[in-house]
Amino acid sequence: MDRTLSDVKREFSTANTVGCILGFLGLTIIAATQLTALMPLLFAPLVCGTLGFLLYRSQISNKQINIVAKTKPNASQASMVLGKI
């Protein structure tokens, strides 16, 4: 039982907690400065992506109609074409 309590106390020490908080704060500061430096590079892809998406969504949906053409007309079709009906 004493061993379990000593392990818990060791894991949650004040120095360890302060170190984690300062580490996360440092990572946050580094990420924020890098993000502001790279923000202008994200402008062009964002604009092109938005305009491309709007162009894609504004297209009228054209449904394809399948037309089947027969190579040989039957007798009634041939007579209609020749005007013999």
- What is the predicted pLDDT for the residue at 41? 85
Task: Reduce the DSSP state of residue 40 to 3 states and report it.
Answer: helix
Tens of pLDDT, residues 41-76: 888 988 999 999 999 888 877 666 777 766 665 666
Residue 10: what pLDDT? 63
Residues 6+ apart with CB under 8 A from 78: none
**pLDDT above 70 covers what percent of the chain?**
61
26 pLDDT higher than 60 = yes
Question: How many domains are contained in the chain?
Answer: 1
- Residue span of the structural domain in which 35 resides: 2-82
Question: Which residues neighbour 81 within 8 Å (Cβ) at sequence distance 6 or greater?
Answer: 73
Residue 12 has pLDDT above 80, yes or no: no
Q: Quick check: 85 and 79 in contact, CB under 8 A?
A: yes
- For residue 59, the model assigns a pLDDT of 82
What does the pLDDT read at residue 22?
92
